[in-house]
Chain A
Amino acid sequence: MTGAVLLRAENIARRFGSVVALRSADLEVRAGEVHALMGANGAGKSTLVKMLTGVLRPDAGRIVIRGTAHVFRSPAAARRAGLVSVYQDPALVPDLTVGDNMRLAGVAAAEVRRWMEQFGLGFVAPGAVVRELPLPLLRLIDLARALAAEPDILLLDEITAALPADLAAHVFAVARQWRARGRAVIFISHRLAEIAAICDRATVLRDGVSVGVVDPATGGEERIVSLMLGTSPQAAEARRPDHRAAGRPALEVKHLRAGELLRNVSFSLHPGEVLGVAALEGQGQAELFDCIAGLRRPDGGVILADGQEVRFRHPADAIGAGIVLVPADRVQALLPQRSVRENIALPLVRRLRDWGALPMRAEGARVAAAVRRLDIDTRAAAEVRRLSGGNQQKVVIARWLAHGFRTLLCFDPTRGIDIGTKRQIYALLRELAASGAAVLLFTSELPEIALACDRVVVLFGGRVVGEMPAAAADEPTLLRSAHGLTAAA
């Protein structure tokens, strides 16, 4: 592991207008190592990556690769210097075929093919149109393309996020192989377990500064977290007593059915309770949430809100019944060019009777209260698109705090969010439940179920295959149940 230094970035700084994204970031990557780059959302990770890959130019500092200082004017220049990156969103043209994309990138088709076969993707025809392939496969195809260029330094930016375990295993294998060949991998992920398993060292960024280099393997996880947060981490709160009130459920679903994926789902959710939904990709959970939120109409079954049967034709109907949704994709829910205030106040003007003069002062107070409660970073508040991912997600949640609700639906609210913000969001969900709200939470990260929920239902093939108290829902139990293997107790 003590190889020569392949890449050294020194004192990199960059600002966007008045927002300082990077103050002074350092990164040293040696030959024969897998190096993790970590940091909370907004710490400057993405900005540093863009600089390393030639997307942005630094205001100050320098990047040295194999002893030569570089100023990359384009991603192509970075590629020529031996640094190739693969992102969470694959850089493939959706309307072209896989083969055309490879020609476009100018890489050897045979070499890409070889890697794809190694990933078990031999079945993907070169004539397949990219748009029609699922995202996880595209990430691996993009990875194969990057590998075909034989880069000295491979940069993997959150490509394991929401990637099924078998496909993620291929990514890890590639990282280990690159290390064994005396090259280097820069690995970015929010999953500490992955970092600990495959990375040799981790550089942690906080507020645009490199705050430390850690060996993640030997109990380094807590150290990474404390570096990222700038404080000593609090252990996940102790388990709370069961809040579940005995009375009428806030939300009840009976034999709900929609499309091919949602077959027959029933459960009830009480005020004061956080009910988890655990499921593998595509087991009907998306359809379930869409039906309850009024985004699509079920083909059968009944939804009851506070004991009343409801039929939602539009999300406005669900909101009127006190049921609100925080979707997985925050880009769907936000007005990117508008301010934090307008984004949070959006549902306050949803009804015709709110179309007149705005109660500016009352609105300002409500928005400010929600911003404070969620601790939203408002340095770039004029346009929501300039906020970090975690802060954007907080804005979506703040919207409903400002508006009010009885039942909160959260669909994978922490996808791609750093651990600090995650904990804030879970603490908030607990708080909301404690004050009498009902929360339905789907998360793709199974260990989080036990952290945030009181109870969990497991979906498989569009049906509920298990229900258990969250205390009993450790990861192995949930995984077995989510694969439809055992009937949970």
Chain B
Amino acid sequence: MRRWLRERAIVVLVLLLVALVGGIAAVRPGTVTADWIANTLLFAAPLGLMAGGETLLLLTGGIDLSVASIATGAAYLLAANAAHGEMAALALGLGLGLLVGLLNGIGVAVFQVQPLVMTLGTGLMTEGVLVVYSQKIIANQPHVPQFVVALGSGRVFGVVPIDLFLWLPVAALLMLGLSRSGFGRLLYAVGDNPLACRMAGVRVWRVLVGAYAGCGLLAAVAGIVLVGTTNAADLSLANVYLLPAIAAAIIGGTSIFGGRGGYAGTIVGALILTVLDSLLTLLDAPEPVKQILYGAIILLLAAAYTRLTD
């Protein structure tokens, strides 16, 4: 039984997700509708995208604490420059993600800075630069382009969230890339034993720079989807997403020590966290109590999962 579960840990996660949804249906009958499911998916998409980048890095044994700052920054740059051309503004936002990601990668891989320290530093720098930037361009009122609003909050046929049409292909690409591409293989390999990779002729730094750049880019994409949902670019847009993005990957079974995990689990992890959030909202508990519950449940899940898979 245990063995069966270990090999299909994702089944347990999905069951848990179903149980949580069932819990909501029990607490507030009539809540779980097609509309509610669509909303949940809509809100889970930015988290899932950001957690995707985080998954890549956890696989290499690294981590990125700058994803929330990148997401906020990308969204803000996009909104602040939309007036000069929406496509250029989009490129600017994505470019920021790529740039900070590359910086992270070079710091970690070439200068051997601890990933925690490096990404904490670049995250703080990004936030600081953003504050200065927002004060400089105060004249130019940020506005979120229409297509981004559609992406972040629109529905097809009134049900299917448009951001799924971005998230699903990205998810497929990530899952396929991790299992069926040379780069994906190397993410696991570098996380498992970098010395072995070097001895096998792999230039480890290239893999790491690629992974951090990819994570930065995904964080920027997540920020842009998020700003489409909120339709307001402020400087604390994605702050609350940092820890859930990491937690989604860990709950999904990706080891923080590297070498083990995958994106399928992360997706379910992101959905569980989103459903959990709406369950706690429904319970009408005071904010501190919600936070305590949220934290405790994440801890329980991570502990249970580790016992199951190890």
Contact = CB atoms under 8 A, between A and B. Distances in A.
Interface string A388-404: 00000000000100000
Given A17-B3, A349-B185, A360 B180 contact: yes
Contact of B192 (A337, A345, A360): A337
Contact of B200 (A17, A350, A356): A350
A310 interface: no
A249 interface: no
Contacts of A319: 200-201
A315 B201 contact: yes
A348 B202 CA distance: 10
A344 to B, nearest CB: 10
Interface string B186-223: 10110011011111111100100000000000000000
Q: Is the interface of B mostly helix, strand, loop or mixed?
A: helix
Nearest to A354: B182
A346 interface: yes
Interface in A42-77: none
A466 B252 CA distance: 60
B203 to A, nearest CB: 6
A82 interface: no
Contacts of B199: 293, 295, 315, 325, 327, 332-333
Given A315-B200, A347-B200, A335 B188 contact: yes
Contacts of B155: none
Given A342-B185, A355-B183, A358-B182, A337 B202 contact: no
A327 B196 CA distance: 10
Contacts of B189: 335, 338, 342, 346
A346 B196 CA distance: 9
B196 A350 contact: no
B185 A345 contact: yes
B278 interface: no
A334 interface: yes
Given A315-B200, A337-B259, A399-B200, A352 B185 contact: no
Interface residues of B, number: 23
Contact of A350 (B181, B192, B202, B260): B202
A366 B122 CA distance: 43
Contacts of B196: 332-335, 346
Contacts of A334: 193, 196
Contact of A335 (B3, B192, B201): B192
A18 B2 CA distance: 12
A349 B181 CA distance: 9
Q: Which of B186, B188, B192, B201 has the most CB of A within 10 A?
A: B201
B193 A335 contact: yes
A239 interface: no
Contact of B193 (A327, A336, A345, A349): A336
Interface in B15-57: none
Interface in A306-362: 314-316, 318-320, 325, 327, 332-338, 342, 345-350, 352, 354-358, 360
A212 to B, nearest CB: 34
Contacts of B183: 349, 355-356
User: Interface residues of A toward B: which range?
Assistant: 20 to 34
A360 B196 CA distance: 22
Contacts of B206: 352
Contacts of A347: 200-202
A355 B198 CA distance: 16
A349 B182 contact: yes
The residue among A318, A337, A345 with the most chain B CB atoms within 10 A of its own CB is A337
Contacts of A325: 199
B24 to A, nearest CB: 36
A315 B202 CA distance: 8
Contacts of A352: 206
Nearest to A324: B201
Contact of B198 (A17, A315, A337, A354): A315
Contact of A355 (B182, B197, B259): B182
B14 to A, nearest CB: 22
Interface in A244-261: none
Please indicate which of the listed interface residues B3, B182, B183, B193 has the most CB atoms of chain A within 10 Å of its own CB: B182
Interface string A182-193: 000000000000
Nearest to B210: A355
Q: Quick one: which of B186, B196, B259 has the most chain A CB within 10 A?
A: B196
A316 B203 contact: yes
Interface of A: 17-18, 293, 295, 314-316, 318-320, 325, 327, 332-338, 342, 345-350, 352, 354-358, 360, 399
22 contacts: A295-B198, A295-B199, A315-B199, A319-B201, A327-B199, A333-B196, A334-B193, A335-B188, A335-B193, A335-B196, A336-B259, A337-B259, A337-B260, A346-B185, A346-B202, A347-B201, A355-B181, A358-B180, A358-B182, A358-B185, A360-B180, A399-B200
Given A18-B3, A315-B200, 16 more contacts: A316-B201, A320-B201, A333-B196, A335-B193, A337-B192, A342-B185, A342-B189, A346-B185, A346-B200, A346-B202, A347-B201, A350-B200, A350-B201, A352-B206, A357-B181, A358-B182
List the 9 closest A-B pairs by CB distance, nearest first. Answer: A349-B182, A319-B201, A316-B201, A350-B201, A335-B192, A355-B182, A355-B183, A347-B200, A354-B182
Interface of B: 3, 180-183, 185-186, 188-189, 192-193, 195-203, 206, 259-260
